[in-house]
Structure formats: structure tokens, C-alpha cells
Amino acid sequence: MGPSIIDVFIEYWPIFLKGTIGTLRFAFIAVSLGSILGTLVAFMHLSKNKIIKGIATVYANVLRGTPLLVQMYIAYFFLPIAIPVLNNVDKEVYVLIALIMNSSAYVSEIIRGGINSVDSGQSEAARSLGMSARHTMTKIILPQAIKNILPALANEYIAMIKETSMAGTFMLYELMYTRTILANKYLSWQPLFIIAGIYLLLTLVLTSLVKHLEKRFSVSD
């Protein structure tokens, strides 16, 4: 059996802490940059121009319809070949690009859904007052859509915390990578339970935070 889970945790907690910080960092970068890219994709999707709309649809469908791990491998091995400038950057960047693009596809759907959830009467009322399309979006639609978008984005962050576990495959220091480190010390099963426990704790705490957030938003209805 070897040492107990508690013994392993007491001895190696700095490794798990470093892994946890790595996980939160990857998820944060992926979702925040993914949100910016995803917003762009969402507006492309809402465009009346069929070509722009088509590009956005294909982009979101490909990224949501293929496994993240495959996307990471493609980014890891193909990007340096396709874009030689990237040869000199840290390997972490390739994996992050895959995470950001993947997240942006999901975020674009969240934002599109949030915008579509606003009653069409709101935009009709604004346009009938002679408000421009831009002002209608920024002053009427988005302030109402944000109530639905923010909690969904927080949920995307929670999902991304779990997704980033695949970055460990590429030797990037996050929670799952701690398993590789400790396996070298002949600890095969104890780290797995600690890792699972930390993931669970993170998602439970963040989920309850989101619930709280949703409640506060619904008060203004």
C-alpha cells in the first residue's frame, strides 16, 4: 500500500498548492481571453453577412465537436510548423492557445444565447424610437443580456478548471501534473485521491459562489 493519503499530503502539500495555482491560472487565462475572442465570434454569428456568419458557425462547431485533447495535440505539434515564429515561445503557449480557442467557442454560444434571451420587443422598442443599431445593442440589449451571461461564464470557468487537467499531458505544471511528479517517487494512487479532492473542492466552492451571484442578479428582476 505505501504511505497513507494524509501522509502524502502533509509531505508534499507545496507541490499540490503549486499545481492548484497552475490549474486556476490556466483556467483563468483560457476563459478571460476566450471571452474576448468568444464575444467577437458571437457578434460574427449574429451578423447578417452570410460569409461572416458561416465562418463563426464553422469555428464554433469544429471546436465544440472535436475533443480538447486532440486540439491540444494539434496546437502543440502543428502550430510550431505552421507558424515558425512560434518556435521560440514557451511550449505553454501552444496549449494555452488550444484552451483559449476551445473556451471561446463555448463562450460565443453563451453570449449569443444571452443576447437572444432578451425579448425581441426590447430591440423593436429601441429601434422604433430611432435608436441606432449600435446604441440598441449597447444600451438596451447587452445590459439585460449580461444577467444571463455572467453566471454562465462563471460556469464555463468551473468547467474549464476540469478541462485544464489535460495540460498535464504536455508537462505543464497544473494539478494533474503533480501525479507525474509523485509517480516518480513511487506514489501511484495516493496523489490521485488528493487531486480529485482538490478539484471537487474547487468546483463546489465556485459553484456555490455562482449560485449566490445568480440570486443577487435575479433580485433586480
Beta carbon of residue 135, minimum distance to other proteins (angstroms, whole number): 5
Q: Which is nearer to other proteins, 68 or 141 (CB)?
A: 141
Q: Which is nearer to other proteins, 136 or 178 (CB)?
A: 136
Beta carbon of residue 12, minimum distance to other proteins (angstroms, whole number): 50
Beta carbon of residue 106, minimum distance to other proteins (angstroms, whole number): 26
Burial letters for 187-196: b for 16+ Cβ neighbours within 10 Å, e otherwise? beebbbebbe
Contact positions vs other proteins (CB under 8 A): 119, 121-122, 124-132, 135, 139-140, 143-144, 220-221
Q: Which is nearer to other proteins, 4 or 132 (CB)?
A: 132
Q: Which is nearer to other proteins, 139 or 216 (CB)?
A: 139
Beta carbon of residue 120, minimum distance to other proteins (angstroms, whole number): 9
Q: Are 155 and 114 in contact (CB under 8 A)?
A: no
Of all helices (H) and strands (E), which one includes residue 212? Answer: helix 190-219
Count of Cβ atoms closer than 10 Å to residue 149 Cβ: 22
Cα–Cα–Cα angle for 103, 156, 56, rounded to 5 degrees: 40
Of 74, 96, 105, nearest in space to 27 by CA: 96
